[in-house]
Structure 1
């Protein structure tokens, strides 16, 4: 079966050609879309979104702006400290954009990736705290996508999905070397969706379509050995106290020895702040808005609750919760 990504790419190539050769592009595009099976393709929206997003453009933040990754929308945006509101840098709906962050990362060394599910154009982005600038570190090959994992030995590691547009996709673990990605471990038949660095290993969640299960692998960064350590219906994996914790079939956050840390509810999204012994739980509150609980992993107690939650930053020992209408600051301590 031909991949949907390839079909879309064929349509996009056709559009580019037609824009140079025809005065009636929309009718021609509609014919191509019908022929290829992409019936919902919207030419006007496509052209508008192409003009609005083509890789990430660097920008300097204003004095009243804070870069915040929105957990529920999976997108990068700017929080206005004056109006207490969050706004996307690029319209995610119009551009089919998604951004990815490194779980629990400090604001002083923050990496993200951002790109479109329709036509990719992924960029590796870093926030430079010293000059309040969102920098574009690298623009990835337009047919590829990347998800950041974390830093190891001063190198940034990624999940790298490489697509040659001929039904051949290679999913790899890679690191950034100057302005290129160096693949070190390949996954041929599984979709790698999540990964985390623990000591000298990268733990990966790789979905097997054949078995409909996530295989959790331990991959050695030093010698590239790989072994399957467990399976789970979920791809949620985290580092806590330099060990792997994951969500099991009972929706419990546990370690490999099955020690239970937290019980999740339906539709919960969580993040583990390993160095601080905290868990960030976001969910739909009683008022139908996104809410957030800051939880002590050791005893399960809720330290703080916030409503109309947009996202958080870890900044010089302060956990900053950004919400519509207010900001909550919590003093946090390393090594809990």
Structure 2
């Protein structure tokens, strides 16, 4: 695809967003603020921040969300799971996020903690992402039951408005089926239940072929799913990362990509292969009508910005776009982290 036929030059703005995870050290925290600044300058719709099972990253997740709120103009999205929390504990956490200024959430059922089998009790009071969606709405309604507005021309007078501030609540979607689902129809039914509970956005589990997403969207729309479903894209820049992703997600191995990564001897070459694959996937998705792109960034900005530039989604008018692309090219030799796996691990 040439520059004259990219989505950018056709005049259509392609919304995009990123996922990050909380840092585990002081040095990682400093690096992450730089990454957030670079990602925010690209103009994403939101940046989501993962949340460890049983609240293992509660403080650091909130710190990252607050930095996004205070230092950028980007909407931060907080991840929440059902794992190990009572309804009261989950309500307190939701209220804490709301009080900090967070108005976007990703509601997930969550996976069993390490060492706990699926058949064992691990969820707490909330048994599904749909129940968590309902709880978020309920906490928001209780926290702000109404709001007052000034009546022009009447000093001191206030009018009460009962409509509440809206929150964005995203949920997970699985184009190739959730590992625990019995059929594709069950996956669609689960998504419909989340919609009925009040979800207004979905983000998919990663996949490697555009037709997996496009066929899933067709089935979902036919069944009555109405909210936008963002495709989740993870640039795979090494054989080890691909292997780990497949272990966690249960996805089928993408043979062509796997072979290319294995035969390429250099880290830079592997990185370029991963970016090229992600760019091609993103272009197909955009051409097929995807409402945007959600990129799992692994707390690095160079690779995901290169993908956005390659598919024409990075705004040319962005004041920092050229700088970001040059920086991505200069640092192409830098290997990316393979230590975090939440994007492909969290359950519906």
Q: With the length of structure 1 as denominator, give the TM-score of the two structures.
A: 0.32
Q: Relative contact order: is structure 1 or structure 2 higher (C-alpha 8 Å, sep ≥ 6)?
A: 2
Structure with more strand by fraction: 1
